[in-house]
A and B are shown apart, each in its own frame.
Chain A
């Protein structure tokens, strides 16, 4: 008994189709099988659940600052003085490395709320320090102004403003 595979005129065999189809299905199946092993590294449900934090503001006096924790990261909540607000607003935005108006970074100019993580490599900047009396990151020398905008140093961007809303005059919900 002999079996023959019909050969098409251009030399393509039915078996070629079977090879490609089987290989393709195998590759897709392998990708599906790998995915859980990659995805398990992403934040788990309980980590994602810690998505917001509420902070009382009434104890923070003008010119002082607290550090809250949101998603494991420090969040600076600063009750800015008039001088600090004026310094932040009195800047030619076009000259900034990451141009942004102070008004776009605050809901209420008195309260500056931002993630206290240097946008360079993640250190926590020191308050009331640096060339612009804002924040200074000791790790690699980034200077931020009183609006938390990068002014000098290796950091590529301004300190991040997290999503937040004022629940009342004295309570803010971050996240």
Chain B
């Protein structure tokens, strides 16, 4: 099913730059497993959110001023005076949260169905790189309105690098461009906040390239064996993704129009004051699990290392998970552990938002310990000792057996 254009113009271009054929292959004929569920929609939703963030961000930067004396007022100017400024800013601020929601679901989908296993290790790595870039971009973006949370979030996060032995202070001064978070810091954060999304676009292209080399994983975790197992991406999954997008936009709009500040923090509507720290500083919700891990350790360097380690261990996942079965559907023990791990991450998120006092400290320590125990101990062990359920012969056989049992159920 190769691409053979009929239009002479397309033919002319294709002979010189085969871009139409490449897009045709990627978005039209790409052979996709025919059993993908809606958990496979979040990849394209993440791509959609990246575009939303790019467009709203570029437009917002036309009205924003990156200066400590003007930044806060320029954001208020956008909210009150710029035509539809309130809409664009709320779209961008809530869009960041929506982006993280779909990316977290996308990551947990990968964990459940073993999408990180060979031959998709690089695909998994590229995804983690995108995740790291997203966190850096979101963090710097949150600093730009120059409210109290912006300022103190920037102070705490940049100070993390001060934990590095010997050169820590030098690095922090270098990051700040001064002796505290100040105008040079705001300026460079704005510059990098504008740059990094385009870097993300680049890594996303590599991510999709790698995906289309190995092919999509699917709920059975079995590879496509023959033509019976796959269907073309268009129209089947373009339409499925569009329907998923429509549902997702309802959720996005609900926040955007009815609770635009629900995921924000009121302290960020107070202009930054370098002399007063808010009594209770918390990062944005999508950083809370990592913040909880940071605070679980009563030692500065230890806490910082554990926090970065929490993401670093995910890079080793394809080799830590010893099971050759991908999908948790056929892994009775791993399936239970997956849900416990998910619950553990939810607990960490909750603890990250609570003050640093008992009993939250103790719960945070237990949850942190379990996070690492799951990845470093339980995952390798379960892979070695678990007795998996029998795998279906093929994707097609799995779909058909399900269909016949459904019919029996409806006949009964």
Indicate whether A60 reaches chain B with its CB closer than 8 angstroms.
Answer: no
Q: Are A140 and B295 in touch, CB under 8 angstroms? A: yes
Give the residues in chain B near A140, CB-CB below 8 Å.
Answer: 295, 356
Select one of A44, A67, A73, A117 contacting B184, CB under 8 A. Answer: A44
CA A139 – CA B352 in complex, angstroms? 12
Q: Are A139 and B156 in touch, CB under 8 angstroms? A: yes
Q: Are B276 and A71 in touch, CB under 8 angstroms? A: no
Q: Residue of B at shortest CB range from A43? A: B178
Q: Are B356 and A141 in touch, CB under 8 angstroms? A: yes
Knowing A69-B275, A123-B156, the reply to whether A153 touches B177 (Cβ < 8 A) is: no
Residues 110-151 of chain A, each 1 if its beta carbon lies under 8 Å from chain B, else 0: 000000110111111000000000000111110000000000
Q: Residue of A at shortest CB range from B280? A: A138
Q: Which of B19-27, B111-119, B297-305 contacts A (4 or more CB under 8 A)?
A: B297-305
Q: Are A122 and B159 in touch, CB under 8 angstroms? A: yes
Q: Are B178 and A153 in touch, CB under 8 angstroms? A: no
Q: Are B299 and A154 in touch, CB under 8 angstroms? A: yes
Knowing A120-B300, A156-B299, the reply to whether A71 touches B280 (Cβ < 8 A) is: no
Give the residues in chain B near A47, CB-CB below 8 Å.
Answer: 177-179, 182, 184
Within 8 A of A (CB), among B334-368: 355-357
Give the residues in chain A near B160, CB-CB below 8 Å.
Answer: 121
Indicate whether A28 reaches chain B with its CB closer than 8 angstroms.
Answer: no
Knowing A139-B281, A140-B295, A154-B297, the reply to whether A72 touches B174 (Cβ < 8 A) is: no
CA A47 – CA B185 in complex, angstroms? 12
Indicate whether B180 reaches chain A with its CB closer than 8 angstroms.
Answer: yes
Indicate whether B175 reaches chain A with its CB closer than 8 angstroms.
Answer: yes
Give the residues in chain B near A122, CB-CB below 8 Å.
Answer: 155-156, 158-159, 162
Count the A-B residue pairs with Cβ separation under 8 angstroms: how many? 88
Select one of A44, A137, A139 contacting B177, CB under 8 A. Answer: A44
Q: Residue of B at shortest CB range from A51? A: B179
Indicate whether A42 reaches chain B with its CB closer than 8 angstroms.
Answer: yes
Which size bracket describes the interface of B in this complex?
35 or more
CA A73 – CA B173 in complex, angstroms? 13
Q: Are B179 and A42 in touch, CB under 8 angstroms? A: no
CA A116 – CA B303 in complex, angstroms? 22
Give the residues in chain A near B274, CB-CB below 8 Å.
Answer: 69, 72-74
Indicate whether B188 reaches chain A with its CB closer than 8 angstroms.
Answer: yes
Give the residues in chain A near B298, CB-CB below 8 Å.
Answer: 153-154
Q: Are B180 and A139 in touch, CB under 8 angstroms? A: no
Select one of B158, B180, B188 contacting A71, CB under 8 A. Answer: B180
Indicate whether B393 reaches chain A with its CB closer than 8 angstroms.
Answer: no
Knowing A74-B275, A141-B356, the reply to whether A123 touches B177 (Cβ < 8 A) is: no
Q: Residue of A at shortest CB range from B188? A: A41
Q: Are A42 and B281 in touch, CB under 8 angstroms? A: no
Give the residues in chain B near A71, CB-CB below 8 Å.
Answer: 178-180
Q: Residue of B at shortest CB range from A152? A: B298
Residues 298-323 of chain B, each 1 if its beta carbon lies under 8 Å from chain A, else 0: 11110100000000000000000000
Indicate whether B261 reaches chain A with its CB closer than 8 angstroms.
Answer: no
Give the residues in chain A near B277, CB-CB below 8 Å.
Answer: 123-124, 137-139
Q: Are A123 and B179 in touch, CB under 8 angstroms? A: no
Q: Are A72 and B156 in touch, CB under 8 angstroms? A: no
CA A122 – CA B162 in complex, angstroms? 10
Indicate whether B247 reaches chain A with its CB closer than 8 angstroms.
Answer: no
CA A117 – CA B277 in complex, angstroms? 10
B92 to chain A, nearest CB (A): 27
Indicate whether B290 reaches chain A with its CB closer than 8 angstroms.
Answer: no
Q: Are A141 and B357 in touch, CB under 8 angstroms? A: yes
Give the residues in chain A near B176, CB-CB below 8 Å.
Answer: 43
Within 8 A of A (CB), among B259-298: 274-281, 295, 297-298
Q: Are A123 and B152 in touch, CB under 8 angstroms? A: yes
CA A72 – CA B186 in complex, angstroms? 14
Indicate whether A88 reaches chain B with its CB closer than 8 angstroms.
Answer: no
Q: Are B155 and A41 in touch, CB under 8 angstroms? A: no
Q: Are A72 and B180 in touch, CB under 8 angstroms? A: yes
In addition to A43-B173, A122-B156, A138-B281, 7 A-B residue pairs with Cβ atoms within 8 Å of each other are A47-B177, A47-B182, A72-B179, A74-B274, A117-B180, A123-B281, A124-B276
6 A-B pairs within 8 Å (CB atoms) are namely A47-B182, A71-B180, A72-B180, A74-B274, A121-B300, A137-B277
